[in-house]
Structure 1
Amino acid sequence: MRLVWPEPADGELDRDALAELYAHDEGCVRVNFVASADGAVAVEGVSGGLEAPGDKQVFGLLRELADVVLVGAGTVRAEGYRGARTSPEREARRRARGRAAVPPIAVVSTRGDLDPGAGLFTDTTVAPLVLTTAVAADGARRALAATGAEVIAVSGDDPGATHPDAVLAALAERGLTRVLCEGGPALFGALLAAGRVDELCLSLAPQLVGGDAGRIVTGAHIDGPRRLGLASVLAHDDGLLLRYRTADR
């Protein structure tokens, strides 16, 4: 893994150097995606078909640095989400930074209709948070009672919808302010439209996918293109790992 911008470094970056590069402040909402060179966000419906060299290493590091991993229910189902992977070494590094041993997964679900038998609930060391609408919250609590998941209503003025500000406020109330959003594109779009995205980490896979594959952000309308500022570029084999900050950061 080589730093090529802003100040090219000689040799490979070790874990400590990468952690310093990707360190972020409290209150930062960071979005992480992988995409092909022609902009595809998935192959046959899952991001695992995109092979970006270095992406898995940075993916794990971003989780290690985060207070919480935020993801949409559609992505949980498509990608077969489970709890964050951990190890004694990773837990020790997190505790040294003042973090909990393992970051919880927080799932945004309009209907709250998650499968209690899914790996998200059964293969995890920390029970997830389920962020749903006021309309769906009571039913989700009953359905997920045995899983230990905390169900939180995060509606704004519309009790049948979730709102990004309410989602992030609920996380902040629980001390979870360094937010890593792993998608999907609709959740990214909602956060972007609400002006709540601070950083985008984008791994570029040296692949061409074609077809009708989606892109990293969809859904909510934003008022014109949002300008980004390039913060860093890493190279690993044929892949590039880009980090952008939004213009107001």
Structure 2
Amino acid sequence: MRRIHPDIQDEPDIEQAYAYPVGQPWLRLNMVASTDGAAWLKGLSGGLSSEGDRRIFRVLRGMSDVVMAGAATVRTEGYGAVKPRESWRTLREGRPPAPPLAVVTRRLDLDLGSPLFVGAASRTIVITCEAAPAERRADASRVADVVVAGGDAVDMSVAVRELHERGLTRILCEGGPRLNGQLAAADLIDELCLSISPLLVGGGAARILNGEASQVELRLSQVLEEEGVLFCKYTRESTT
């Protein structure tokens, strides 16, 4: 792997390249896309990934306080709880061995007996709303920490604030596109880490951002490259 922007460096330190700003909350969005903007191949993001993308993915998880994902992504991609890794020992000094997974769901249509909840190193968080069935909320509370954020739908501003109040200020969001769109519409995204695969997909695949129109000004702060895959880091213009 090499860095090609803002300067050139062979074998950059990935942890240093993606270090969080000191002393401020940060919401980082991490996604992979094809060259023509598709967020998945045959319904899954894994078909667009690469070894370099997976290395960065693991480091970003290890650095975070919490990993956020939408319920549709959790079901489609077969998410389990985040597992500790030996390589995270230094990264996570003074913190739990693995970050909790925070699942955003309006209907609570989750398998509460799945590995997402059973045996998690850090108790899974479920972010839902008052409109979710009360019985399902009660069931979820037995295996997860349930956060009610909003009335008829999940209010992402409230959800993020609730995570911050739990000391989870370094938020890594892994999508999907609808959740990303909600975060952008609420003006909550500080950084986008985007892996661009050298592949044309076409068809009806979603983009990395779907839903309500929004406009977030970003600057290109870093580009890494490996085997034709670009790893771009974009930061909010108004964020230092």
TM-score (norm 1): 0.90
Distance in structure 1 (CA, Å) of the matches to 2:156 and 2:132: 17
- 1:42-191 pair list within 5 angstroms: 42-95=40-93, 98-122=94-118, 124-136=120-132, 138-147=134-143, 149-155=144-150, 159-191=151-183
Q: CA deviation at 1:146?
A: 4.1
Moved more, 40-49 or 110-119: 110-119
Could you tell me how far apart the structure 2 residues matched to 1:228 and 1:93 are? Answer: 27
Alignment-mate amino acid for residue 101 of structure 2: I
Question: Shift of the alpha carbon at 1:144?
Answer: 2.4
Q: Are residues 199 and 137 of structure 1, via their aligned partners in 2, closer, same or farther at CA, if it must alter by over 3 Å?
A: farther
Cα distance, 1:232–1:144 mapped onto 2, change above 3 Å? same
RMSD value, Cα: 1.5
Matched, 1:202 2:219: no
State the identity %.
41
Indicate the residue corresponding to 1:5 in structure 2. 5
- Alpha-carbon distance in 2 for matches of 1:31, 1:99: 21
CA 20–86 in structure 1, closer or farther in 2 if over 3 Å, else same: same
Please state if 1:231 is matched with 2:221.
Answer: yes
Residue 53 of structure 1: CA displacement? 4.5
How far apart, in 1, do the equivalents of 2:101 and 2:14 lie?
23
- What CA deviation, in whole Å up to 9, does each residue of 1:95-117 have, x standing for no partner? 1xx43321000011011221112
Task: Supply the distance in 2 between the matched residues of 1:137 and 1:6 (Cα, whole angstroms).
Answer: 50
Shift of 1:138: 3.3
Q: What is the letter of the counterpart of residue 184 of structure 1?
A: G
Equivalent residues of 2:63, 2:91 under 8 A apart: no
Number of residue pairs matched by the alignment: 237
Which of 204, 210, 216 in structure 1 is aligned with 2:208? 216
What is the rounded CA distance, in whole Å, between the counterparts of 1:93 and 1:197 in structure 2? Answer: 23
Hey, what's the Cα distance between the residues in 1 that align with 2:57 and 2:208?
16
Instruction: Report the alpha carbon displacement of residue 145 of structure 1 after superposing the two structures with TM.
Output: 4.3
Report the residue type matching 1:116 in the other structure.
L
Which secondary structure state, in structure 2, belongs to the residue aligned with residue 226 of structure 1?
coil
Q: Deviations over 1:55-79 (max 9, x none)?
A: 0000001111110001101100010
Unaligned stretches of 5+ in structure 2?
A: none
What is the CA distance between 1:135 and its match in structure 2? 2.5
> 2:145 and 2:40 mapped to 1: Cα distance?
30
- Shift of residue 248 of structure 1? 1.3
Whether contact under 8 Å (1:232, 1:244) holds in the other structure is yes
**Relative to structure 1, is the Cα distance of residues 237 and 64 closer, same or farther in structure 2, using a 3 angstrom cutoff?**
same
- Is the CA contact (8 Å cut-off) linking 2:187 and 2:216 kept in structure 1? no
Of the three residues 226, 234, 238, the one matched with 1:244 is 234
Higher helix proportion = 1
CA offset at residue 51 of structure 1? Answer: 3.0
Using the alignment, how far apart are the partners of 1:51 and 1:68 within structure 2?
22
